[in-house]
Amino acid sequence: MDKLGAIAGDKLKFANEDDLKELLGLTSGAVSPFGLINDKERKVDLLIDKAIWESDYVSFHPNVNTESLELKKEDFHKYIKSIGNKYLII
C-alpha cells in the first residue's frame, strides 16, 4: 500500500459501500474494471497491475459476483481505453 500511495498520492483510498453504490452502482464483492462503465462523471481512476495488463486473458466479475467474464488482452485494453477513465499500469 505504501508503494501505491507513492504513485497515487493522498487521494488513493478504498471505496466504502456508499461510495461504491453512488459512483459505480455496485456492491462490495462485485467490483471490477467493468463497473467503470457506470462512472459517467469519470471520478474513479483505475490502477492496473502490469502482470494483469500483460496477461493473454483476464477474467473479472461483470458487475455481479456470481459470474465471471474472460477477455483476450486486446479486448480488455480496448475496453479500458474506450471508457474514458484515467488508468495507470503499475
Q: What are the residue boundaries of the structural domains of the chain, listed by start? A: 2-89
How far is Cα 82 from Cα 79, in angstroms, rounded to an integer? 5
What number is the average pLDDT over the span 48-69? 95
Question: How confident is residue 13, by pLDDT bands cut at 50, 70 and 90?
Answer: confident
The pLDDT value given to residue 31: 93
Confidence of residue 48 (pLDDT cuts 50, 70, 90): very high
Q: Which CATH architecture has domain 2-89?
A: Alpha-Beta Complex (3.90)
- C-alpha cell at position 74: 486486446
